[in-house]
Amino acid sequence: MGVRIKEFPNVFLELPSKGKKDLLRTMIRIRSFETRVEELFLAKRIPGFVHLYIGEEGIATGIMANLRKTDWITSTHRGHGHAIAKGAQMNRMMAELYGKRSGYCKGKGGSMHIADFSVGMLGANGVVGGGFSIAVGAGMTAWMKKTDQVAVCFFGDGASNRGTFHEALNMAAIWKLPVLFVNENNQYASTTPVSYGVSASRISDRAVGYGIDGYTIDGNNVVEVYNVAHTLIDRLRAGKGPILLECRTYRVKGHYVGDPEKYRTKEEVKKQIEENDPIQRYTSYLIEQSFLKPEEIDALWKEAKEEVEAAVRYAEEEPYPAPEEALEDLFGPEQEVWV
Amino acid sequence: MGVRIKEFPNVFLELPSKGKKDLLRTMIRIRSFETRVEELFLAKRIPGFVHLYIGEEGIATGIMANLRKTDWITSTHRGHGHAIAKGAQMNRMMAELYGKRSGYCKGKGGSMHIADFSVGMLGANGVVGGGFSIAVGAGMTAWMKKTDQVAVCFFGDGASNRGTFHEALNMAAIWKLPVLFVNENNQYASTTPVSYGVSASRISDRAVGYGIDGYTIDGNNVVEVYNVAHTLIDRLRAGKGPILLECRTYRVKGHYVGDPEKYRTKEEVKKQIEENDPIQRYTSYLIEQSFLKPEEIDALWKEAKEEVEAAVRYAEEEPYPAPEEALEDLFGPEQEVWV
Amino acid sequence: MSILSFSEATLQAMIEEMERDPTVFVMGEDIARQGGIFGQFKGLPDRFPGRVLDTPISETAILGSALGAALTGLRPVADMHFADFISVAYDELVNQIAKNRYMFGGQANIPLVVRAPDGIVPGAAAQHSQSVEGWLMNIPGLIMVSPSSPATAKGLLKSAIRSNNPVIYFEHKVLYPQKGEVPDKEFLTPIGKAEVRRAGKDVTIVAYSIMVQKALEAAQNLSKEGIEVEIIDLLTIKPFDLETIVTSTRKTHRCVIAHEGVVHGGAGAEIASQVQQEAFYYLDAPILRVGTKNVPIPFSPPLLDFVAPKVANIEQAVKQVLYREGR
Amino acid sequence: MSILSFSEATLQAMIEEMERDPTVFVMGEDIARQGGIFGQFKGLPDRFPGRVLDTPISETAILGSALGAALTGLRPVADMHFADFISVAYDELVNQIAKNRYMFGGQANIPLVVRAPDGIVPGAAAQHSQSVEGWLMNIPGLIMVSPSSPATAKGLLKSAIRSNNPVIYFEHKVLYPQKGEVPDKEFLTPIGKAEVRRAGKDVTIVAYSIMVQKALEAAQNLSKEGIEVEIIDLLTIKPFDLETIVTSTRKTHRCVIAHEGVVHGGAGAEIASQVQQEAFYYLDAPILRVGTKNVPIPFSPPLLDFVAPKVANIEQAVKQVLYREGR
Ligand SMILES: Cc1ncc(C[n+]2csc(CCOP(=O)(O)OP(=O)(O)O)c2C)c(N)n1
Ligand SMILES: Cc1ncc(C[n+]2csc(CCOP(=O)(O)OP(=O)(O)O)c2C)c(N)n1
Ligand SMILES: [Mg+2]
Ligand SMILES: [Mg+2]
């Protein structure tokens, strides 16, 4: 899958083995969190809409391993994975999904608006393509304050057809802002295949229109994502301007939990699960290369499960906000300008 | 000027000499109309904002010579030239600029909203980039009704940064709609040079993002515009899908009549007027090639001047709409559905 | 009479109008391959090949091309997926579609329908729960309708499609599966005309969409306390049927307006303003409005419950204008 | 006191605030190279290199990036060129900027100003003449202000920039060259507070922006006929100062609301609705609204004159609520 770019040979950078393990840990934590969220949603413990990132964990994980806490990301409606990889805590995330007061958004946002500004996760967004220009704005802050922070904008294949994509990439390009636009091409925008909705043969081709570099890589190979992001983010920090990175992946779950999925065959999905799961692929790699032992990997799954269960307990036990709290948080505190 | 595309050698198609003369006539008519409009505006006979097309006539003329009355165009705030070339009458145009009842829009639109739907001129637009998707819709009509009509969307270099550009081109591309997107790259968007505002080195490069063909040509060479448009519009009628055509030109007048023009030097403008005027260039060519005699050319100018003066007289004499007519034309007639 | 859900009723309307007029077509996101997120387009693409179009996520192109198609001889129905996303193509709606006919002196008609699923769904939060007619009340050139029953859902959609002018058709997401009686014979529900859903002498309630149903529920409760409200189902939000409202209010001397959208700057503001003007001498109490409190829609159930307008809020407002209870 | 034009007053405000706080910057189309189409940014780029940014014609990116910048530590001022083009970035404004703080539970403040030149300029027609506060009255989370004098132009802009919340600053295009007194000492005009511009006992006129001036002119004419109006300059349109309006209306027993935007669904609708509620027992006549008639702004002078609100319309409305003349 994916078109290999020669510039990025598929070699693993010399991370200490802890780094290698961390990549796997993050993917497993995301998967464990979401698998549980799916169950909880079906059990009606979680209200609203839930969009799962299962099968796409390689992207958030590989990118975020190259970011600092002070860097920023903008996310999509499918934001759990981005939040976890950027450093958000599962318990406060789960509390938010439950609509509890101690959730990241005090229960006001839910799954579709998960956010943890304290780690630079500037929010999931219910408007497809709503995040492009927010990331550009974060890039402007780094630019104007002359820091080496970067902003990463995650977006779907469907989102690449929004006009906001165009305006944001052009603006980032003319000012050479440190923004990495990471396309998560999971082959579908809800029911619509990318081959139908996106006129370009590769979404990364759209980079040409902004005079910037565009790459297409295998988003389910976390090694490749990590390596490419490493190089690209270094370029961003050096002030070389924005980059468009298309990561090919596949949405193995429905668009949202409950999706009847009439737009594709079960076989198509099955094949992807069996052959292209980013966690399985990375696990095999680590074992083949003897980087990790099967017991170590089992331990990661166990750890993650415990973390998730603790988060569920936390979310279950925490109180709901009081009804009148619905009227809070609309405006920030003012000092001198309000009467 | 402009980057030549090999595919379009600069040979004049075998038009009968009337066709050659018609191209010149159209350019002269546009120029004469606008030169007079400028005077009238400065003399405060015409209210509102006026954006002149002077120096860019080669584009509308060369394109429209390949269109039929049943084809459609969408225009910009700079629409006089498009209207004349598409077949609108000067007197009703002038009446509109004066705000008279017999103007094309009954005085409701003025210069910025000049339109003549009866010849397929679907309107100038005060919103930059407002016309892209309207042209796509016209293309949809041809597509769904299976006619060989085409739609041409004129737009500026500045407009190519609107998100509407992106959404419209993608939509036209996925459905292979017969829409020619004609970029009039006149080097400036109001005060902003194209080199600053547009990240792509050529606007036609943006075609890559939609998997369609893009070309950059010399818009001030009406021969080139005519020839290229001839080929491309044939392709559209054959159902080959949309095309992006960048025509390089230069806005020799201010952005609007009254523009202080602090963003460029007088020399820059002077050089363009002297060396790159589309009418002068075509006139020289016709004379050099002995296609037309100087007297014939003089006659065209004279004819055009008379037509313009007649239009001015018409506009001066026609009545204003009655005040209460301001409440008309909001809704079209209804038959059965309204109480 | 048949018993149909709102989805089925709108589907019937689409089928009838698409059969009647070959220039009618529909486009929007995710409507063809899966029949619409609420099943409201189920089977339509097979029935009308090439006339039910899935679009990219490109709302400006959807509404803008609908305008272009309308100007050149088609009758487009554009689906907005969620009314909340009207925001994304707001320019196409307010500066292009609404102004085109006027600005160009009536050169073309614009037979165009925008279908906009709106309203609160529990847990859908701030960007998927809005009723947005308040965004559009200030725009001359737009017509807005919203049904309250499967029958009006069908009749209004048919009228909207036959109208020669741009009509926004707001359909409440929660109502799609709800069933009700729909006449078997063909019918249109006229645009611009309200219907009195319940006669009463004490208070006039003006409502539309789901709030008509909540008002009817409130009416039953109130009736037990001896209060008889008259319920006006607006059906057309813009231009609304002032005459019917004023006639009723002059009779009851009291008026409560209920809609699901945010109260501040909502459609109710314009209605209240006109009613106080036209029924001033008849009013025995201020006109009250019931709607969502002045915040975005929150996610958490208790918060949502607090801000969303409920049957009890209508009852309370009715009592308030009757001075039955303190504020 | 100095005599300054509106442009100069806003320029002073920008200079003072940009000097005071290095995180303040401004971006928009055609503001740097030529100092803004109304000269309102003249000289600013030289004074603050790198902090006055010309943008491409990309309104969604302008407002969206302003939000991103505000969330990450800057205080952006985004210029919309013409208020009419708020339409183009409406989603960024209503679904992102307005909802961000609430939806994310107050994680960040959003110190962001949108400057929006609005109002009728003769001949500018349907897409360059609008006053669009009516598009935004229904959006919780936005603040809207509009000055009526050079002094309030300066004071309100400074307050808007210092505010920790999104403020839309509407500045009337016709007023830019108009001059008036501005205090030399630094000052802020508080947000949320109206000012009584003229005391009077007979009728309360609520107005803002250019209509304050028209109301003052009407007041002079009316005074000759023995009618003394009280004029309230709203300054903040949302949230407006209900208390000041109600206090005055309870005194005069009559209220006329004047704004330049279209009457139907305009800001006046919300104001009238709240005033009739809070001053019901004191009102001796219905509340009337003066504004643009219910059509887009036409180009031709006699048509424009017919639809635009004029001094005479205010006078007429005042007389009407005083029952001095038939309708
Ligand atoms: C502006 C807008 N239009 C439509 C929608 C409805 N919608 C939600 S998700 C989605 C598909 C998004 O596809 P893609 O960008 O590929 O992301 P993915 O879901 O595949 O991760 C759509 C159409 C929306 N939320 N916002
Ligand atoms: C959406 C929008 N933004 C801004 C403007 C203000 N404006 C009018 S013309 C113009 C420049 C247009 O440049 P370009 O597209 O290159 O066309 P040109 O004027 O050069 O023909 C601008 C910024 C507008 N009318 N519409
Ligand atoms: Mg996708
Ligand atoms: Mg230009």
Which domains does chain B show, CATH number per domain? 17-327 (3.40.50.970)
Q: For residue B1, what pLDDT is reported?
A: 29
> Could you tell me if C235 and C301 lie in one domain?
yes
Determine, yes or no, domain membership for D98: yes
pLDDT at A337: 79
**String of DSSP letters for C194-207:** -EEEE--SSEEEEE
Q: Are B101 and B326 in contact (CB under 8 A)?
A: no
pLDDT (average), residues B168-177: 98
Q: For residue C169, which of C275, C23, C28 has the smallest C-alpha distance?
A: C28
Is C264 among the catalytic positions? no
**pLDDT > 70 in chain A, percent:** 94
- Residue D252's CATH number: 3.40.50.920
Give the residue-averaged pLDDT of B110-118. Answer: 98
Domain membership flag for residue C189: no
Q: How many domains does chain D have?
A: 2
Q: Quick one: pLDDT at residue A35? A: 98
Token representation of residue C204: 């006039």
Among B58, B74, B79, B38, which Cα is nearest to B258's? Answer: B38
**Which residue among C182, C214, C247 closes a domain?**
C182
Q: Which of B47, B263, B326 sits opposite D306 (nearest CB)?
A: B326
DSSP state of C92: I
Domain of C31, CATH number, reads 3.40.50.970
Band of pLDDT at residue A7, cut at 50, 70 and 90:
low
Same domain, yes or no, for D13 and D124? yes
Please check the confidence at residue A148 and state whether its pLDDT lies above 60.
Answer: yes
Rounded Cα gap, residues D119 and D110, in angstroms: 27
Ligand 4 center to residue B103 CA distance, Å?
27
Residues D246 and D177 in one domain: no
What stretches in chain C show pLDDT beneath 50?
326-327
Indicate whether C153 belongs to any domain: yes
The answer to whether the bond into A178 is cis (omega within 30° of 0) is no
For residue A119, pLDDT over 90 is answered with yes
- The closest ligand to the CA of C62 turns out to be 1
Predicted confidence (pLDDT) per residue in A244-288, tens digit:
999 999 999 999 999 999 999 999 999 999 999 999 999 999 999
pLDDT for res B4: 42
Question: Cβ–Cβ contacts within 10 Å for residue C73, how many?
Answer: 15
Strand pairing class (B188-189; B192-193) = antiparallel
* Mean pLDDT value across residues B4-26: 71
Give the 3-state secondary structure of residue A284: helix
Asked whether residue C164 falls in the same domain as residue C48, the answer is yes
pLDDT band at A149 (very low <50, low <70, confident <90, very high): very high
Both tokens assigned to C275: 């009613």
Residues sharing a CB contact under 8 Å with residue C303, sequence separation 6 or more, in sequence order: A99, A107, A108, A321, A323, A325, A326
What is the distance between the terminal CA atoms of chain C, rounded to a whole angstrom? 44
pLDDT given for residue A18 in this prediction: 74
Residue D16 and residue D96 in one domain: yes
Angle (CA) A257 A198 B157, round 5° = 130
Q: What is the pLDDT of residue A1?
A: 30
Out of B110, B163, B323, name the one closest to residue D123 (CB). Answer: B110
Residue with tokens 């709290």: A325
Give yes or no: residues C200 and C170 share one domain: no
Q: How far apart are CA B306 and CA B289, in angstroms?
A: 28
Query: Is the residue at C55 inside a domain?
Result: yes
Asked whether the beta carbons of residue A170 and residue B198 sit closer than 8 angstroms, the reply is yes
pLDDT the model gives residue B13: 58
DSSP labels for D186-221? ---PPBT--EEEE--SSEEEEE-THHHHHHHHHHHH
**What's the domain range around C134?**
2-182
- Tell me whether residue D41 is in a domain: yes
* Residues of C in Cβ contact (< 8 Å) with D280: 283, 285-286
B304, pLDDT greater than 60? yes
The two tokens of residue B145 are: 């009704």
Across the interface, whether the CB atoms of C299 and A162 are under 8 A apart is answered no
CA closest to A77 among chain C residues: C127
Q: Is A46 in the pocket of ligand 1 (CB under 6 A)?
A: no
DSSP of D119-181: S--TT--TTSS---GGGTTT-TT-EEE--SSHHHHHHHHHHHHH-SS-EEEEEEGGGTT-EEE
Nearest to C161 by CA among C113, C114, C116: C113
CA separation for the pair D59, C15 (Å, rounded): 39
**Which tokens belong to C83?**
């009314």
DSSP code string of B236-287: HHTT---EEEEEE----S-SSTT---TTS-HHHHHHHHHH--HHHHHHHHHH
A232 CB neighbour count, 10 Å cutoff: 24
Computed on alpha carbons and rounded to an integer, the radius of gyration of chain D in Å comes to 19
pLDDT at B6: 53
Q: B11 pLDDT exceeds 90?
A: no
Element (H, E) at C44: helix C44-47
Are B263 and D60 a contacting pair at CB < 8 A? no
What separation, in Å, do the N-terminal and C-terminal C-alpha atoms of chain D show?
Answer: 44
Contact B113 C108 (CB under 8 A): no
Q: How many residues does chain C have?
A: 327
Report ipTM (2 d.p.): 0.98
Strand extents, DSSP E, chain A: 72-74, 151-156, 179-185, 188-189, 192-193, 213-218, 243-248
CA angle D243, A334, D265 (to 5 degrees): 45
Residue of D nearest to B328 (CA): D295
- Please report whether residue D26 resides in a domain: yes
Same domain, C297 and C200: yes
Domain end, chosen from D182, D213, D246, is at: D182
Residue A2, pLDDT score: 34
User: Domain ends where: C140, C160, C182?
Assistant: C182
Query: Does the annotation count D59 as an active-site position?
Result: yes
- Helices and strands in chain C: count of H runs, count of E runs: 11, 14
Q: What is the mean pLDDT of residues A5-26?
A: 71
- Catalytic residue from among D128, D172, D253, D259: D128
Helix, strand or coil, per DSSP, at residue D15? helix
Report whether residue B92 contacts ligand 2, using a CB cutoff of 6 Å: no
Nearest residue to A124 (alpha-carbon basis) of A161, A166, A73, A65: A73
Are residues D77 and D150 located together in one domain of the fold? Answer: yes
In whole angstroms, what is the distance from residue C129 CA to residue C142 CA? Answer: 22
Question: pTM for this one?
Answer: 0.98
Taking an 8 Å cut-off on Cβ atoms, the answer to whether D95 and A337 are in contact is no
Q: Phi first, then psi: what are they for C177, rounded to 5°?
A: -80, -10
Report every protein residue that has its C-beta within 5 angstroms of ion ligand 4: B 156-157, 186, 189
Are D47 and D171 members of one domain? Answer: yes
CA of A125 relative to ligand 1 center, distance in Å:
10
- Residues D246 and D116 occupy one common structural domain: no
Give CA–CA dist D195/D209, Å, rounded. Answer: 12
- Of the CA atoms within 13 Å of residue A27, those in its CB half-sphere come to 28
The β-bridge partners of D170 are D116
Q: Which of D273, D278, D206 is nearest to D237 (CA)?
A: D206
Residue B286: strand, helix, or coil: helix
| pLDDT at residue B3, as a whole number | 40
Give me C176's structure tokens.
């799609």
Nearest to A83 by CA among A109, A49, A48, A101: A109
- Is-cis flag, bond preceding D122, omega within 30? no
**Ligand 1 in contact with A127 (CB < 6 A)?**
yes
- Pocket of ligand 2 contains residue B208 by CB under 6 Å: no
Set D8, D17, D59, D171: catalytic member: D59
Token reading at B31: 């120029």
> A104 in contact with D at a CB cutoff of 8 Å?
yes
How large is the average pLDDT for residues A119-135?
98
Q: So what's the pLDDT on residue B18?
A: 74
Distance A249 CA to ligand 3 centre (A): 9
| H or E element at residue D311 | helix D311-321
| Residue C190 located in a structural domain | no
Are C233 and C166 found together in one domain?
no
Distance from chain centroid for Cα D20 = 25
pLDDT of residue C230: 98
- Asked, for residue D190, whether it belongs to a domain, the answer is no
CA C276 to CA D271: how far, in whole Å? 12
In this structure, are residues B123 and B73 in contact, taking their beta carbons and an 8 Å threshold?
Answer: no
Q: Please check whether residues D202 and D313 belong to one and the same domain.
A: yes
Task: Tell me if residue C291 falls in helix, strand or coil.
Answer: strand
Burial of residue C15 (CB within 10 Å: 0-12, 13-18, 19+) is middle
> CB–CB of D56 and B320 under 8 A?
no
CB atoms inside a 10 Å sphere around CB B298: 10
- D128 Cβ inside 6 Å of ligand 2: no
Q: How far is the C-alpha of D99 from the C-alpha of D77, rounded, in Å?
A: 18
Name which of D80, D311, D98, D260 is nearest A130 in CA terms.
D98
Q: How far is D214 from chain C (nearest CA, A)?
A: 22
Residue type, D255: C
Residue spans of chain D under pLDDT 50? 326-327
Burial D36-66 (b: 16+ CB within 10 A, else e): bbbbbbeebbeebeebbbbbbbbbbbbbbbb
What pLDDT score was predicted for residue B15?
67
